[in-house]
């Protein structure tokens, strides 16, 4: 072998080794969560960790699902599901209407509206907890599904409008016009031509909104203070605080239950995450 | 209020999602669109009203749930507002007293300095490691690249709170896998070592968690950018004798400058206002007073101690800081989208 070839071989081996290290470092915590959740609690509290679930058990999941004590899982799951699903539906509807307005029409204030959307997105939620709490309190909306949902809708709305704006703008208006020339009304043209083309965009945006609402922690912590109104993130923290000295295995089972839907959804839409930025930014 | 989108690191606004809205040649289309709008004006009024009607629902929600609390926040920050006022006592206006108090409070500056240092360390680490991983991905064979991508995606997809809980377990004093693995090294005994008691070590753990979750976004974004750099230019440079570093410095970096800038700003925004990771980690173990960043501090001052006036003033200061940091990002987004 020539020296150049040897060098290339060596660098391939080194790079592959680094790649494996990156993979292991990324995956290990997720693996460790799953692994611990499938082991008996006394097994993970031993001097030597079990690196695979050799004493496989589902008892931790039973503990989490059956716990009716200080932090019951199922009511939190129901609250989270309700809030998240209503948030997704409402945000998609409102954002879709707004996206139509800013892509299909020219009007005064259009530019200002879009800039306002961007600016609102930059207001840190941490700063808003006090006044949001006070405003909701004034309307008797603390510890209610409606209260948290409407806050979440407003929270994800700027982002959903921005994203849908891109998708709606990507469907050429000429298609709609052609349908109208062929005899469709504006509504029909929209429903039969534009809407099907938009469906993937709506799904992607909806999934983003779902992940955000599902994971949101701070506002839920402030707005849903009553134990029976906890969302899953607040539940997980309460549960972890209550059991971390005794039962990490159950905490890992709870973490798994909370993380799985997000991970699945995330994998579905990940392809959309990076394409936009690059398409725009590397022109010059 | 982009709590969730920016907080979860899932999806920054304009930067990522969706196809680019305005392609070159759009101006013509705009003209067409105007023509259609005019043609539609047979029912003149209806068409003139339509965009307004479409915008009303979203605008109403934003005004009521973001706009109104924002006004309230400003008002509170100029009032005396504590527990008594929550229960109905009158809240007298005190001018800039709250701001004077906050700015004269050594704790505030300590917290702010800590947040800035912490954010700086995390941004540098995430950008550095993310760029290296992106460069690595361009040189891997297909199968390995897929493997790395899957790993990064999993780390990225973990909900922030779950990530903290899981890492908290891994760093557990007694039974944590990290203490066990470190103790396997000859002469090291880490069993029983607490990672969260010492503030510096606490922030080390927080940095590990945040870096673990931010590197994927940086790596994917920059990798996507790298694939757009024309290979002819790189090959020409190589023929001219430029080594790897020179090629990165003089060709790749200039090409990707705008991506680097946008990603860096997003990281700064996320890391400056970090809440979930620090707050949850404090719950696992860690001394609140010595480890709070500005987001957590606002929560402690207002929700914890009930001093809504001071909390409000700090919040307004944070909003101003964040707006200043994001100004470039907002401007760049507006320019990119040719609004």
Domain positions in chain B: 31-69, 82-336
CATH assignment at residue A116: 1.10.3720.10
Asked which of A62, A81, A109 is the last residue of a domain, the reply is: A62
- Residue B184 contacts A where some CB pair is shorter than 8 Å: no
In Å, how far is A75's CA from the nearest CA of chain B?
Answer: 19
Question: pLDDT tens digits for B246-256?
Answer: 888 888 888 88
> Is there a domain that residue A111 lies in?
yes
- Reduced to 3 states (helix: H, G, I; strand: E, B; else coil), residue B131 is helix
Based on the fold, state whether residues A109 and A227 are members of the same structural domain: yes
SS3 B93: strand
| pLDDT tens digits for range A172-198 | 888 888 888 888 888 888 888 888 888
Same domain, A42 and A165: no
Number of compact structural domains in chain A = 2
Q: Do A237 and B280 touch (CB under 8 A)?
A: yes
pTM metric for this prediction: 0.86
Instruction: Give yes or no: residues A118 and A212 share one domain.
Output: yes
Contacts of B7 in chain A (CB under 8 A): 125, 215-218
Domain annotation covers residue A228: yes
Domain membership of residue A153 (yes or no) is: yes
Closest to A217 in 3D by CA, of A250, A184, A262: A262
A106 and A166 belong to one structural domain: yes
Same domain membership, residue A51 and residue A175: no
Give residue A16's domain range: 3-62
Q: Are residues A184 and A232 in the same domain?
A: yes
Do A29 and A162 sit in the same domain of this protein? no
Q: How many angstroms separate the CA of residue B231 from the nearest CA in chain A?
A: 14
> pLDDT tens, A9-42?
888 899 999 999 999 999 999 999 999 999 999 9
Best CA proximity match to A190, nearest among A201, A175, A204, A202 = A175
Closest residue by Cα to residue B251 from B264, B263, B240: B240
- pLDDT per position as a tens digit, A89-124: 999 999 999 998 998 888 888 889 988 998 898 888
Residue of chain B nearest A37, judged by CA positions:
B166
Question: Touching check for B166 and chain A: CB below 8 Å?
Answer: yes
* Nearest by CB: A233 against B55, B161, B229: B161
Whether the pLDDT of residue B46 is over 90: the answer is no
| Residue A255: Cβ within 10 Å count | 29
Task: Look at phi and psi of residue B135 and say left if phi exceeds 0, alpha if psi is from -120 to 50, else beta.
Answer: alpha
* Residues from chain B contacting residue A245 (CB–CB below 8 Å): none
* pLDDT at residue number B204: 96
Q: What is the pLDDT of residue A70?
A: 67
- Select B82-336's CATH number: 1.10.3720.10, 3.40.640.10, 2.60.40.740, 1.10.287.130: 1.10.3720.10
Q: State whether A16 and B144 contact (CB < 8 Å).
A: yes
- Is A248 among the domain residues? no
Do residues A168 and A199 share a domain? yes
| Residue A113 sits in the same domain as residue A209 | yes
Task: Give contacts of A 51-90 with B, CB under 8 A.
Answer: none
| Same domain membership, residue A214 and residue A110 | yes
Q: Is the same domain home to A79 and A220?
A: yes
């Amino acid at each position: 072998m020539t020296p150049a070839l040897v060098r290339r071989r060596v660098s391939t081996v080194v790079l592959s080794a680094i790649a494996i290290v990156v993979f292991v470092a990324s995956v290990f915590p997720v693996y460790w969560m799953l692994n611990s959740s499938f082991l008996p609690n006394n097994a993970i509290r031993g001097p030597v960790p079990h690196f695979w679930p050799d004493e496989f058990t589902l008892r931790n999941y039973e503990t989490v699902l059956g716990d009716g004590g200080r932090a019951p899982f199922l009511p939190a799951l129901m609250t989270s599901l309700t809030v998240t699903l209503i948030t997704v539906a409402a945000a998609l509807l409102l954002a879709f209407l707004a996206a139509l307005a800013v892509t299909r029409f020219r009007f005064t204030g259009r530019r200002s509206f879009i800039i306002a959307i961007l600016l609102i997105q930059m207001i840190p939620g941490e700063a808003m907890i006090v006044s949001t709490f006070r405003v909701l309190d004034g309307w008797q909306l603390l510890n209610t599904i409606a209260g948290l949902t409407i806050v979440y809708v407003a929270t994800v709305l700027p982002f959903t409008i921005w994203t849908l704006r891109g998708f709606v703008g990507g469907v050429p208006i000429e298609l709609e016009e052609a349908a109208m020339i062929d005899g469709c009304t504006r509504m029909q043209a929209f429903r039969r031509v534009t809407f099907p083309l938009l469906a993937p965009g709506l799904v992607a945006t909806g999934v983003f909104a779902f992940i955000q609402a599902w994971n949101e922690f701070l506002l839920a912590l402030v707005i849903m203070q009553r134990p029976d109104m906890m969302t899953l993130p607040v539940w997980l923290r309460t549960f972890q605080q209550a059991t971390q000295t005794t039962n990490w295995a159950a905490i890992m089972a709870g973490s798994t239950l909370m993380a799985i839907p997000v991970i699945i959804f995330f994998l579905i839409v990940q392809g959309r995450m990076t394409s936009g930025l690059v398409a725009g930014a590397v022109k010059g | 209020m982009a709590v969730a989108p920016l907080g979860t690191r899932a999806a920054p606004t304009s930067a990522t999602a969706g196809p680019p809205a305005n392609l070159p040649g759009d101006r013509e289309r705009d003209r067409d669109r105007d023509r259609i709008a005019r043609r539609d004006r047979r029912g003149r009024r209806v068409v003139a009203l339509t965009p307004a009607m479409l915008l009303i629902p979203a605008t109403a929600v934003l005004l009521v749930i973001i706009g109104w609390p924002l006004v309230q926040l400003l008002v509170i920050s100029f009032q005396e507002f504590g527990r008594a006022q929550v229960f109905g006592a009158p809240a007298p206006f005190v001018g800039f007293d709250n701001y004077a108090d906050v700015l004269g409070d050594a704790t505030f500056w300590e917290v702010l300095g800590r947040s800035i240092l912490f954010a700086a360390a995390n941004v540098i680490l995430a950008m550095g490691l993310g760029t290296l991983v992106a460069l690595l991905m361009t040189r891997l064979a297909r199968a390995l690249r897929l493997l790395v991508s899957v790993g990064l995606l999993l780390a990225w997809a973990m909900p922030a709170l779950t990530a903290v809980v899981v890492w908290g377990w891994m760093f557990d004093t007694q039974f944590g896998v990290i203490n066990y693995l470190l103790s396997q090294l000859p002469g090291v005994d880490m069993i029983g070592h607490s990672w969260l008691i010492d503030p510096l070590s606490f922030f080390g753990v927080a940095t590990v968690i945040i870096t673990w979750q931010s590197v994927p976004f940086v790596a994917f974004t920059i990798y996507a950018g790298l694939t757009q750099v024309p290979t002819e230019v790189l090959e020409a440079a190589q023929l001219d004798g430029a080594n790897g570093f020179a090629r990165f410095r003089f060709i790749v970096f200039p090409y990707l400058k705008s991506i680097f800038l946008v990603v860096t700003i997003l990281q700064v925004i996320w890391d400056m206002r970090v809440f979930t990771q620090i707050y949850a980690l404090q719950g696992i173990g860690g001394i609140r007073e010595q480890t709070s960043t500005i987001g957590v501090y606002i929560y402690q001052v207002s929700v914890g101690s009930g001093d809504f006036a001071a909390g409000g003033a700090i919040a307004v200061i944070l909003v101003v800081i964040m707006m200043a940091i994001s100004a470039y990002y907002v401007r760049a987004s507006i320019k990119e989208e040719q609004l």
